[in-house]
Amino acid sequence: MRSVIPDYLTEALAEVAPDVSGQLAGYIPELAAADPGRLGVVFATLDGKIYGAGDVDAEFTIQSISKPFAYALALADRGFDPVLAKIGVEPSGEAFNEISLESGSGRPLNPMINAGALTAHSLAGSREWDPAGRVERVIDGLSAFAGRQLSIDERVYASEMEHAHRNLAIAHMLRSYDVLTEDPQAVVDGYTRQCSVLVTVRDLAMMAATLANRGVNPVSGEQVVGERVVRQVLSVMATCGMYDSAGDWATQVGIPAKSGVSGGLIGALPGQIGIATLSARLDAHGNSVRGVTLFERFSSDMGLHVMEVPPSARAVVRSNHVVGGGPHAVRVFQLQGGIRFAGAERIVREVLDTAPPEVAVALDLTMVYSIDDVARRMLLEVARRLTVDHHEVFLIDPEALVPDPEPGDGGRVTVVEDLEQAVRSVTARSTGHEPAPGSPGDEGREVPREQP
């Protein structure tokens, strides 16, 4: 059987193909000569599967899509404070190449407009490096996001440099405010090389998937930048990635995104997927016309909007029942799904409302697939309070989702593989056949448990 996804993508391309509205980027002669007929899309999953249709392997220059990645490298290389001191995170509502800075400080408003991107480029790598070393760092960094070595299209670079007056004006203005502290010409040169890196739609989808995958390239497994950097970059993409159409994009599509004037467009949906499209004709904001239409369709067809409200956390308590009777009774809270703060709150409330009369209480994680840090701490606090209230607490955790179940402060949990072990342990204790800890008949392990 064929996968349904490539067929869906082919159909989506066929639907937008007749739209020839928009213009090629005229201000860079090499881009004005691009083939406007090229059309491609790739979905990259977080375990490295690629689904594509159309021109997925045609090379074109990355242009502004390099901006979020260069910003990520600057944050990773220099740290947050020095970068935030020089580049803001406020949407500008202006065109990408607006000659404007924050009044007073002279800071660029955000790293997605050219003023911020020039500054971000200047902050990549170590402070001591020369412009050539910095360009190398940026190309290697972009390559790590893509999972293959990328290179520069020298013709596009040269073509843009001949007409880079606007970026030079912005760079000189940044220099006058000491936001740039070096030769503005060298920064524009490096930034233009960064924009001239050749990529394919497949590369861009993988780069987006790396952002969606907490900074880990799904194929190479390399942690390219840290999770905190990724959160920052995705936030700025969500608010500023589409320039003066960022609000429309946020409401219609709702995927952190970035566009480029050669017609590329990426979207990174955290925890789900990286998407990239190519179609060279641009709208008045400098965003790919057919790319925007495709993203609108993907978002609506597949519910990819980040603000789409997930199913209610109520379902985390699958059942609340008692197994066995009399002194052998075990109260079981069977939990399920992914547990975060709201889910953990439901569990706390369920345990509180139940006020279990049984001595033995089991928190059953068998059907839980993930539990985040705050939920883990809340669950252990529930266990601690139950112990203090004279309960014997079992954590049924066959997958070791709580690897270090130490409730602290008078709390105690016994970790078991399944409910049967908990029941056997309770029965053995109440009939006076309690096995010695560590003996072959010992049912379960008391904390602390060894890390898996």
Number of residues that bind ligand DON (CB under 6 A): 12
Q: Rule CB under 6 A: is residue 180 a binding residue for ligand DON?
A: no
Q: Rule CB under 6 A: is residue 92 a binding residue for ligand DON?
A: no
Q: Rule CB under 6 A: is residue 190 a binding residue for ligand DON?
A: no
Give the Å distances, CA to CA, from 76 to 58, 82, 137, 225, 246.
30, 11, 12, 6, 25
Contact window for ligand DON (CB under 6 A) among 142-150, 259-267, 345-353, 383-391? 259-267
Q: Rule CB under 6 A: is residue 260 a binding residue for ligand DON?
A: yes
Shortest reach from residue 3's CB to ligand DON, in Å: 32
d(CA 234, CA 253): 14
- Whether 243 is catalytic is yes
- Whether 191 is catalytic is yes
d(CA 259, CA 113): 11
Which one of 8, 41, 42, 64 is the catalytic residue?
64
Task: Output the residue with the shortest Cβ distance to ligand DON.
Answer: 64
Binning the chain into helix, strand and coil, the percentages to the nearest 5 are 45, 15, 40
d(CA 199, CA 153): 10
Q: Rule CB under 6 A: is residue 259 a binding residue for ligand DON?
A: yes
The amino acid at residue 269 is L
Shortest reach from residue 145's CB to ligand DON, in Å: 17
**From start to end of 246-305, where are the E strands?**
257-259, 264-269, 273-278
- Whether 67 is catalytic is yes
Nearer to ligand DON, 159 or 299 (CB): 159
Nearer to ligand DON, 64 or 414 (CB): 64
d(CA 91, CA 72): 18
Q: Rule CB under 6 A: is residue 98 a binding residue for ligand DON?
A: no
Please, are residues 142 and 152 in contact by the beta-carbon 8 Å criterion?
no
Instruction: Report CA 125 to chain centroid distance, whole Å.
Output: 23
Structure tokens at 231: 């959160």
Strand partners of residue 394: 362, 414
Which residues inside 283-342 make contact with ligand DON, applying CB under 6 A? 286
Q: Which of 167, 277, 299, 414 binds ligand DON (CB under 6 A)?
A: 167
Structure tokens at 414: 């016994």
Q: Which of 69, 96, 249, 295 binds ligand DON (CB under 6 A)?
A: 96
- Annotated catalytic residues are 64, 67, 191, 243, 261
- Per CB under 6 A, residues contacting ligand DON are 63-64, 96-97, 114, 160, 167, 195, 259-261, 286
